[in-house]
Amino acid sequence: MKNTPISLHSFKSIQPRFQDSQSDLVDWTSEIHQRSMELADLPDRDRLKNILKRFCVSERQIEKRFFETERNEIYALCKEALSGVDIGKRHEFYGERCLEVLKEMYTGSETPDHLIHVTCTGYLAPSAPQIYFSHLEKGPEITHAYHMGCYASLPAVRMAEAFAKARTQKVDVVHTEMCSLHMDPAKHSPEQMVVQSLFADGHMKYTLDAKTSGRRLEVKSIKEQLIPDSVQDMTWVPSATSMQMSLSKDVPDKIRGHLTKFLHELTQESHKDFLFAIHPGGPKIIDLLKTQLGLSDEQVAFSRKVLKERGNMSSATLPHVWKEILDSDYSGKVISLAFGPGLTIFGGVFEAIK
């Protein structure tokens, strides 16, 4: 079994409850920030009102995003709550909705031997998967892959591949990301306007095992690298109200400086004919990789499609790109790349098989 290839297959996406156009979401984000500024009686709020939208990701790059929260559930502002409800209430919402998502995922589906739950937007113990499967005489083994951010699907695949090989198991990976819980309307920096207009919610389940027939992505190799002297360039830390992200303008340049060597070590061959599944952390990341690696529009088309149609769903984004690839008629090698706190570069080589 140790030399048997392990494959990803049987992708199932669960749609969040709400969706809206990027244009309307940017308008709402600007309005809720203005409301917070008025409640705080900020002296320079008139100046800030005029520049807030300028830093938001435009509808040319993202057409719509999906989200789980009614806008007045989390972001009912008052003088005592300029950011919305506290982090406890946000996690309570996360846990309740996560159970509903798991029910949708597993109604009519076989219980796996092992389940890896991936998220960076909701932490509860016992976790939603533990609660969901607790009624079974013999439920799945459950591993929690938390707080890794946007690149987390690749370490989850690496873990699932090891479990499937070592114990001849069927392993499910489940992503439940609710980034919409973690806006902060009281933080008005350009960086925060980019973050709050980029991220969205998304849920995905897929299976890894030694499947030898049917449409699948066969795992070839996975590699990670920490970029030196970059620990403060991207962070994801808890606050009293939400998880707070920081994102330095130096991130693209630091990735650029290490990417070519990393890719050579990952593939050991030319990537000219490979398809690329890039985590679209934002439009500039796709453009950066396309330019630096000399890629064609076709090689990055699936990443652009997911960003345009869904925004950045943190760890659930790459699995949506993988699903798009498997839903197409493409067969051949796929290079997957993602970036996150550390700064960490994570890469994987797969083969799409008909």
For residue 311, give the CATH number of its domain. 3.40.47.10
Within-domain flag for 310: yes
Q: What is the pLDDT of residue 13?
A: 98
Residue 243's SS3 state is: strand
**What is the 3 state secondary structure string of 3-50?**
CCCCEEEEEEEECCCEEEEHHHHHHHHHHHHHHHHHHHCCCCHHHHHH
Instruction: pLDDT band for 333, please (50, 70, 90 cuts).
Output: very high
Residue 8's contacts (CB-CB under 8 Å, 6 or more residues apart) are: 157, 206, 207, 208, 216, 217, 219, 322, 350
Q: What is the pLDDT of residue 207?
A: 98
Instruction: pLDDT band for 271, please (50, 70, 90 cuts).
Output: confident
Within-domain flag for 312: yes
Q: What is the pLDDT of residue 2?
A: 61
Burial (0-12, 13-18, 19+ Cβ within 10 Å), 248: middle
Instruction: Give the C-alpha separation, 138 to 350, whole Å.
Output: 32
Q: Confirm if 112 and 69 have CB atoms less than 8 A apart.
A: no
Q: Confirm if 224 and 154 have CB atoms less than 8 A apart.
A: yes
Average pLDDT over residues 180-197: 91
Instruction: pLDDT band for 53, please (50, 70, 90 cuts).
Output: confident
% of residues, the chain, pLDDT over 90: 71
Within-domain flag for 259: yes
What confidence tens digit (pLDDT) does each residue in 146-163 have? 999 999 999 999 999 999
Within-domain flag for 241: yes
Residue 174 has φ and ψ, to the nearest 5°, of: -120, 125
| Mean pLDDT of all residues belonging to the chain | 92
Within-domain flag for 344: yes
Q: What is the pLDDT of residue 340?
A: 86
> What is the span of the domain harbouring residue 302?
216-353
Residue 62 tokens, joined: 């993202």
pLDDT at 270 over 80: no
Average pLDDT over residues 21-47: 90
Give me the number of domains the chain comprises: 1
Instruction: pLDDT band for 1, please (50, 70, 90 cuts).
Output: low
Q: What is the pLDDT of residue 283?
A: 77
**How is residue 289 annotated by DSSP?**
H
pLDDT at 70 over 90: no
How far, in Å, are 15, 48, 82, 213 from residue 33 at the CA level?
27, 9, 9, 52
Within-domain flag for 2: no
Within-domain flag for 7: no
Within-domain flag for 59: no
